[in-house]
Amino acid sequence: MKVDPGTHGLHILRVLAAGPLTHAELSAQISAIAAPQIQAICNRLVRQGYVSDAFSKDRITSKGRAQLPQAVPTYTMRPYVPERIVRRPGSDAASSLPSVFAGERIYPR
Protein backbone atom coordinates (compact mmCIF):
# COMPACT_ATOMS: atom_id res chain seq x y z
CA MET A 1 0.00 0.00 0.00
CA LYS A 2 1.41 3.33 -1.08
CA VAL A 3 0.93 6.15 1.44
CA ASP A 4 0.21 9.57 -0.03
CA PRO A 5 2.25 12.39 1.56
CA GLY A 6 -0.63 14.85 1.06
CA THR A 7 -0.73 18.30 -0.49
CA HIS A 8 1.22 20.08 2.25
CA GLY A 9 3.58 17.12 2.46
CA LEU A 10 4.36 17.43 -1.27
CA HIS A 11 4.96 21.15 -0.80
CA ILE A 12 7.42 20.42 2.00
CA LEU A 13 9.11 17.72 -0.10
CA ARG A 14 9.55 20.20 -2.98
CA VAL A 15 11.20 22.71 -0.64
CA LEU A 16 13.44 20.05 0.91
CA ALA A 17 14.48 18.82 -2.56
CA ALA A 18 16.62 21.97 -2.86
CA GLY A 19 18.61 21.05 0.25
CA PRO A 20 18.39 20.17 3.95
CA LEU A 21 16.71 22.74 6.22
CA THR A 22 15.98 23.17 9.91
CA HIS A 23 12.36 23.51 11.07
CA ALA A 24 12.81 27.28 11.48
CA GLU A 25 14.21 27.67 7.95
CA LEU A 26 11.44 25.48 6.58
CA SER A 27 8.78 27.56 8.36
CA ALA A 28 10.35 30.75 6.99
CA GLN A 29 10.24 29.45 3.40
CA ILE A 30 6.67 28.14 3.66
CA SER A 31 4.67 31.02 5.13
CA ALA A 32 1.29 29.61 4.01
CA ILE A 33 1.44 26.79 6.60
CA ALA A 34 1.67 27.38 10.36
CA ALA A 35 4.91 26.32 12.07
CA PRO A 36 3.27 23.72 14.38
CA GLN A 37 1.52 22.18 11.39
CA ILE A 38 4.83 22.02 9.48
CA GLN A 39 6.38 20.28 12.49
CA ALA A 40 3.54 17.73 12.60
CA ILE A 41 3.71 17.10 8.84
CA CYS A 42 7.50 16.68 8.99
CA ASN A 43 7.14 14.17 11.84
CA ARG A 44 4.61 12.22 9.75
CA LEU A 45 6.91 12.34 6.71
CA VAL A 46 9.79 11.01 8.87
CA ARG A 47 7.58 8.11 10.07
CA GLN A 48 6.58 7.34 6.46
CA GLY A 49 10.22 7.39 5.33
CA TYR A 50 9.97 10.35 2.95
CA VAL A 51 12.17 12.62 5.08
CA SER A 52 15.11 11.87 7.40
CA ASP A 53 15.82 13.99 10.47
CA ALA A 54 19.53 14.07 11.24
CA PHE A 55 21.65 16.75 12.92
CA SER A 56 18.49 18.86 13.49
CA LYS A 57 17.96 19.24 9.74
CA ASP A 58 15.30 17.62 7.60
CA ARG A 59 16.54 15.92 4.43
CA ILE A 60 14.49 14.35 1.66
CA THR A 61 15.11 10.63 1.08
CA SER A 62 15.11 8.72 -2.19
CA LYS A 63 11.60 7.49 -1.33
CA GLY A 64 10.55 11.13 -0.91
CA ARG A 65 12.13 12.12 -4.25
CA ALA A 66 10.14 9.33 -5.92
CA GLN A 67 6.92 10.99 -4.65
CA LEU A 68 7.68 14.30 -6.39
CA PRO A 69 6.03 14.79 -9.80
CA GLN A 70 8.37 14.28 -12.73
CA ALA A 71 9.10 17.23 -14.99
CA VAL A 72 7.61 17.11 -18.46
CA PRO A 73 10.29 17.12 -21.17
CA THR A 74 10.44 20.35 -23.11
CA TYR A 75 10.32 20.25 -26.87
CA THR A 76 12.49 22.44 -29.03
CA MET A 77 10.38 24.86 -31.01
CA ARG A 78 11.40 25.76 -34.53
CA PRO A 79 9.95 28.36 -36.87
CA TYR A 80 7.26 27.30 -39.30
CA VAL A 81 8.55 26.79 -42.83
CA PRO A 82 5.74 26.47 -45.38
CA GLU A 83 5.96 23.97 -48.20
CA ARG A 84 7.57 25.22 -51.38
CA ILE A 85 5.03 25.67 -54.16
CA VAL A 86 6.24 24.54 -57.55
CA ARG A 87 4.61 26.44 -60.44
CA ARG A 88 4.71 25.81 -64.14
CA PRO A 89 6.76 28.27 -66.15
CA GLY A 90 4.65 31.21 -67.29
CA SER A 91 1.74 30.45 -64.92
CA ASP A 92 2.55 33.41 -62.68
CA ALA A 93 0.71 36.03 -64.77
CA ALA A 94 -0.04 38.32 -61.82
CA SER A 95 3.61 39.28 -61.39
CA SER A 96 3.66 40.91 -64.83
CA LEU A 97 0.47 42.96 -64.37
CA PRO A 98 0.65 46.61 -63.25
CA SER A 99 -0.88 47.68 -59.96
CA VAL A 100 -2.34 50.98 -58.74
CA PHE A 101 -1.06 52.57 -55.55
CA ALA A 102 -2.16 56.05 -54.37
CA GLY A 103 -3.60 56.84 -57.77
CA GLU A 104 -0.41 55.91 -59.64
CA ARG A 105 0.05 52.94 -61.87
CA ILE A 106 3.14 50.92 -60.95
CA TYR A 107 4.65 48.57 -63.50
CA PRO A 108 6.70 45.55 -62.42
CA ARG A 109 10.38 45.57 -63.18
DSSP assignment letter at 50 = S
C-alpha to C-alpha distance for 109 and 62, rounded to whole angstroms:
71
Condensed to tens digits (0 to 9), the pLDDT of residues 41-99 reads: 999 999 999 999 988 899 999 999 999 988 888 888 889 999 988 888 877 777 778 88
Residue 3 has pLDDT above 80, yes or no: no
pTM greater than the 0.85 cutoff: no
The pLDDT of residue 2: 64
73 close to 19: Cβ distance less than 8 angstroms: no
Is the domain spanning 7-67 CATH 3.10.580.10? The answer is no
Q: Which amino acid is at 36?
A: P
Sorted by where each begins, the domain ranges of the chain are 7-67
Q: What is the pLDDT of residues 68-81, one digit of tens each?
A: 988 888 888 889 99
